[in-house]
Chains A and B, each alone.
Chain A
Amino acid sequence: MSLVAGPGRGGATQATESVPLVMDKHIKYIQDLNERKDEYEYWLTEHLRLNGIYWGLTALHLLRHPDALPRAEVLDFVIDCMHENGGFGAAKGHDPHMLYTVSAVQVLATLDAFDEFNQQVGDGTNKVGHFISNLQVREGVDAGTFAGDEFGETDTRFLYGALNALSLLGMLPLVDVPLAVEHIQKCQNSDGAYGLRPGGESHAGQVFTCVGALAIAGRLDLVDRDRLGEWLSERQLPNGGLNGRPEKREDVCYSWWVLTSLAMIERLHWIDGQKLIDFILGCQDPDIGGISDRPGNMVDVFHTLFGIAGLSLLKHPGLEEVDPVYCMPKLVTSKFLTGTTTKS
């Protein structure tokens, strides 16, 4: 079981005006990603394989087809990616890294498979929790943040991923959450948004990771909601799509990161939801399914998930409700996160 994560051959070059959501096409598109081993791209994107499973599986759950991928095969694939130290690599034989470990936990949670995982891998969830907690930087100027792996690169993406996975595992006490929160505050800029590291320029992807981490930590009170909301709402461009930084082009993935951040700070009504829906629908490939970054471009499973998640957050009919903090079905996160802070 391995879904190709890169683009592939395309169908129609441009979706026509006001296309409907082609649900069946998207389901088939994701299922067929496993059959594309005759494409060079399939091999070039092996480093995204486990993320690809998370993107594809989550999209299918939001499309209300949770059983569209063979469950046992998915589980086998995930377990094959695990290392003795509790970390997961992108595919079998790839090195362990935070990015893939988080995807693995998200997939296991979505499949409700923590127990099976522990049966197959002795002490599995514990090992995973410790792999993640060992990557927290405990002292120095970067105290509180997380490294991606043993080589030490730090980034708020890893901090968010760590809190995401640990909270699903019920293991947040393994890390110093207040220290992580302190680090996030250092990444905040005067425009209310957040950067990759302290001093870094505000970026919608980092806003999502920082605000998401604060939501998990129960510290959304630290966000300057109006100021951040202003910056985020200016990401919407006249064509309805959203960009990630001032004066950049729109993109379906940034649309999700901005949208979910607006949802977390209760400012979703500060952009035009209908125009964003139309933009996302216009990025579909109506022939072969899948969603691209912008209308007329190659589709891939990454943009397919973020497009569908965006539509779900905007209450498009026919979709399962998404949890904006986790980018997972609300049905799944509510099982693991009783009494935490997520809000839709």
Chain B
Amino acid sequence: MASHDRPRVTAERTDKDLQREKRKIDEYRSLVERIETRVAEGGSEADVLDLTSDLLSRNPEYYTVWNHRRRLLLRYLEGGDTSNDASVDPNNKQASPQDYLLDDLRFLIPLLQQFPKCYWVWNYRLWILEQIERYLPRQQADSCWQRELDLVAKMLARDERNFHGWAYRRIIVDQLERLAQEAVHGEEGAGQGSRSQEEFDYTTKMIHSKLSNFSAWHYRSKLIPRILDEQEADDTARRKVLDDELDLIQNALIDPNDQSLWFYHQSLMYTIAPDCPRDSAIVLTLTNTDRVHYYEQEISRIREILEDWDDCKWVYQALLKYAAEYQTLDAGSKVYSNTDMRTWLSKLRQLDPLRSGRWDDLEKHLDLST
């Protein structure tokens, strides 16, 4: 999209710079013109494809050229005998339409590496995979989809927060699950062909390599309820998962300055709320007594964090948030006093003045103003 992370350059351009830039512009524009002319003529030769490869490697944002490429390929694919006839176009280099599709997957890899945030490249790749499924033998298509998981794992190893990468991963997983289900023709019940457990293990791996990976924590929060449903987990198993996750995040909170961790903790506490939607829930049979227990347990664990981190705003914030939620449970014996809450709020105001308007509202909400 627009420019990000490019330092301002103040130096005036010399004549030499201007000439060099002019040559680059001329070359680029003549390439664009050649493509436009050939496309307008209805050219379907392999060299038009090569021209678009050249242009897209210089400028992958040129979405119309990706579309030219799609239309060219479709013409090959629909015009030719898809069984294995290489002679769709008499001038081509003996390449079959199938070869073009597989070549395109290879062509896109360096582009993804160079432009990992370009929507058009990711989308074009998905489109190619869909065509592979339509035009290539099933087994070949399956292994293409399968290999995408390795590719996206590599992309996420390079940048563990790449938003496109995570979105792409979810799409690929959906596709693999669909293929697996189609393969067994819907025998068995829910969860047949599910990859939830593998994906969950993947988030564990990513979190262990870097705790501050909100993308992985987020994905994990979506996977847990699904896995439990697919496994038809009983109450004991569900309660164990909730306890294990709370332990995991409490251990991670050894450094409480990372907001990713607090958001994950918050998402677990959200599953305890009486109004938590069924598809986000972990334990399905929570009583009010259970809820009070979890709030008391977590509030006291968070208070322990204070012993080492009395200057971390997140700790006070979490205490106040959970205290407010705890109050709605009509808890009889409080594990903290109003004085505690006033102290937390005044520390929070001191540590986080940016959000003072929010703390004003919180004070009113908790009825703490004196």
Contact = CB atoms under 8 A, between A and B. Distances in A.
Nearest to A42: B25
B170 A251 contact: no
Nearest to B20: A40
A190 B259 CA distance: 15
Nearest to A267: B358
Interface in B267-309: 267, 270-271, 280
Interface in A237-251: 238, 245-248, 251
Given A151-B67, A300-B2, A13 B8 contact: yes
B1 A302 contact: yes
A292 B354 contact: no
A199 to B, nearest CB: 5
Nearest to B216: A201
Given A229-B358, A245-B214, A293 B62 contact: no
Interface stretch (A93-101, A104-112, A121-129): A93-101
A272 B8 contact: no
A148 B63 CA distance: 12
Contacts of A233: 355, 358
B2 A247 contact: no
Interface of A is mostly: loop
Contact of A200 (B28, B170, B214, B321): B170
Nearest to A248: B161
Nearest to B365: A226
A285 interface: yes
Nearest to B166: A201
A189 B264 CA distance: 12
Contacts of A292: 3, 8
B7 interface: yes
Given A93-B36, A247-B258, A5 B2 contact: yes
B10 interface: yes
Of residues B2, B32, B67, B70, which shows the largest number of chain A Cβ atoms within 10 Å of its Cβ? B2
Contacts of B4: 251, 293, 297
Interface in B1-25: 1-10, 13, 18, 21-22, 24-25
B61 interface: yes
A267 to B, nearest CB: 8
Contacts of B163: 196, 201, 203, 245
Interface string B196-218: 00000000000000001011001
A37 to B, nearest CB: 8
Interface in B164-179: 166-167, 170
Contact of B21 (A10, A14, A38, A48): A38
Contacts of B63: 47, 90, 94-95, 97
B167 A200 contact: yes
A238 B29 CA distance: 45
B259 A297 contact: no
Contacts of A278: none
B7 A296 contact: yes
Given A40-B21, A47-B63, A13 B354 contact: no
Nearest to A231: B263
B1 A296 contact: no
A160 B64 CA distance: 22
A26 interface: no
A298 B6 CA distance: 6
Contact of A246 (B18, B119, B259, B357): B259
A13 B260 CA distance: 33
Q: How large is the interface on B (under 10, 10 to 19, 20 to 34, 35 or more residues)?
A: 35 or more
Given A47-B64, A201-B214, A298-B6, A190 B354 contact: no
A197 interface: yes
A48 B7 contact: no
A196 B222 CA distance: 15
A151 B127 contact: yes
A201 B67 CA distance: 28
Interface in A301-324: 301-303
Nearest to A91: B64
Given A43-B25, A89-B64, A94-B64, A285 B8 contact: yes
A176 interface: no
A253 B3 CA distance: 11
Of residues B24, B32, B61, B70, which shows the largest number of chain A Cβ atoms within 10 Å of its Cβ? B61
Interface string B332-370: 000000000000000000000111111011000000000
B263 A269 contact: no
A290 B9 CA distance: 14
B62 A46 contact: yes
B22 A38 contact: yes
A230 B325 CA distance: 15
B44 interface: no
Interface in A101-146: none
A201 B219 contact: yes
B28 A40 contact: yes
B3 A6 contact: yes
B59 A44 contact: yes
A246 B222 contact: no
Contacts of A67: none
A275 B357 CA distance: 14
Contacts of A97: 63
B270 A190 contact: yes
Contacts of A7: 2-3, 6
B214 A272 contact: no
A143 to B, nearest CB: 16
Given A38-B18, A271-B354, A271-B357, 4 more contacts: A40-B21, A48-B61, A89-B64, A201-B163
Interface of A: 5-7, 9-14, 38-40, 43-48, 89-90, 93-95, 97, 149, 151, 153, 189-191, 196-197, 199-203, 229-231, 233-234, 236, 238, 245-248, 251, 253, 267, 269-272, 275, 285, 292-294, 296-303
26 contacts: A7-B2, A9-B13, A11-B10, A12-B10, A13-B10, A44-B61, A95-B64, A149-B67, A153-B119, A190-B266, A190-B280, A197-B170, A229-B358, A233-B355, A234-B259, A236-B354, A247-B258, A253-B2, A267-B358, A271-B357, A272-B354, A272-B355, A293-B5, A297-B3, A297-B5, A303-B2
